[in-house]
Amino acid sequence: MAYWASLMFFLGSILFVEGSICSLFFELHTYHSEWTTSVPYAIGSVMFSVGAFLEVLLSIRSFPDEYFRDNISPSQQGLLDEEDGWDDDVQSTSSTVPRHDKQEKPWSWAASMQVDSSVLTRHWLELIGSTMIFVGAVIYNVLCFSMVYNSAPGTNMSPKLHFFLIRVPNVTGGVLFVSGSWFYWASAHHTWNPFIWYPKSTAWKVSLANYLGSWGFFLGAAVRYAFFPLPGVLVPNWLEIFIGFTIGALMFLAGSYTCIYEIANNGPD
């Protein structure tokens, strides 16, 4: 299932890159945006939604039955820590990477539970993060299909409708993507601090790429200013689109490719 989730994000990212690049150019955006930008965005958003839904299912499936028992033996705990390979991958990259145990209680709000709080919380953070990204992807569907409608010949969406069907979903989806990717980051690394450096870790590479891609999508939606205009060649907000959506989609492309490569080398899900 992890392979198919990564593949959906990979293919969706390719379509987002293509659509965002085409939307940079004035003539393509003005006269041909339906097929060069809006349709690729719409198909890409559906692929992101499918991939995000599979990630939610993977997050739910990652909760083993042992988490709901009153006591866990040390041998069972060791199996739980290494069950998905991600935590082991992060911890093996450097001796300075912290290992959290029951004495440390790094997640105080979960410390009262009868199981290891760091392991339990990691899975809850992953589930919350994947759910946020799934909801954000569904909201992006509203945005992208509204763009298809708005770019069709003979349509003229009112400013009020444009605000609620395009502007609001664009910003809201970006906020949910940033929030969800940050929860993923905390789940993978046991810290909310985004400024950590584990360049040999697959988990670090993937979570960083997704985090940066999410910020790109958010900034592409939130920033509204014409930087370095090139009239007649590029659209007025070309830099915002390029930094936000093109580079953001490239980050998601890199993260999903890394996942696919890792799965191909370590066996199917």
In a domain, 71, yes or no: no
| Beta carbons within 8 Å of 35's beta carbon, 6+ residues apart | none
Q: Output the six-digit token pair for 109.
A: 């709000």
Bridge partners (DSSP) of residue 25 are: 234
Residue 148 in any domain: the answer is yes
C-alpha angle 176-225-167 in degrees, rounded to nearest 5: 40
Domain that holds residue 49: 2-63+107-266
238 contact partners, CB below 8 Å, separation of at least 6: 24, 230
DSSP 3-state of 189: helix
Does residue 144 sit within a domain? yes
> Is position 100 within any domain?
no
Does residue 128 belong to any structural domain of this protein?
yes
Number of other CB atoms surrounding residue 109 within 10 Å: 9
Cα(84)–Cα(81) distance, rounded to whole angstroms? 8
User: What are 210-263's pLDDT values in tens digits?
Assistant: 999 999 999 999 887 767 777 788 888 888 899 999 999 999 999 999 999 998
- Following DSSP, what letter does each residue of 40-88 receive, concatenated? HHHHHHHHHHHHHHHHHHHHHHT--GGGGSS---HHHHHHHHTSSSHHH
Q: What is the pTM of this model?
A: 0.78
Q: How many domains does the chain have?
A: 1
Is 79 within a domain? Answer: no
Q: List, for residues 129-173, the tens digit of each pLDDT value.
A: 999 999 999 999 999 999 999 888 888 889 999 999 999 999 999
Per residue in 50-80, pLDDT (tens digit) is 999 999 999 998 876 655 554 444 444 444 4
**C-alpha angle 33-252-56 in degrees, rounded to nearest 5:** 110
The token duo for 85 is 């390979």
Q: What are phi and psi of 84, to 5 degrees?
A: -110, -5
Compute the Cα dihedral for 5, 44, 11, 218 and give only its sign. negative
Burial (CB < 10 A; 0-12, 13-18, 19+), residue 206, is buried
Say how far apart CA 208 and CA 200 lie, in whole Å. 12
What number is the average pLDDT over the span 183-190? 88
**What's the pLDDT tens digit per position in 95-113?**
333 333 333 344 443 333 3
| Tokens standing for residue 209 | 């790429």
CB 212 within 8 A of CB 254: no
The reply to whether 204 falls in a domain is yes
**13 occurs within a structural domain:** yes
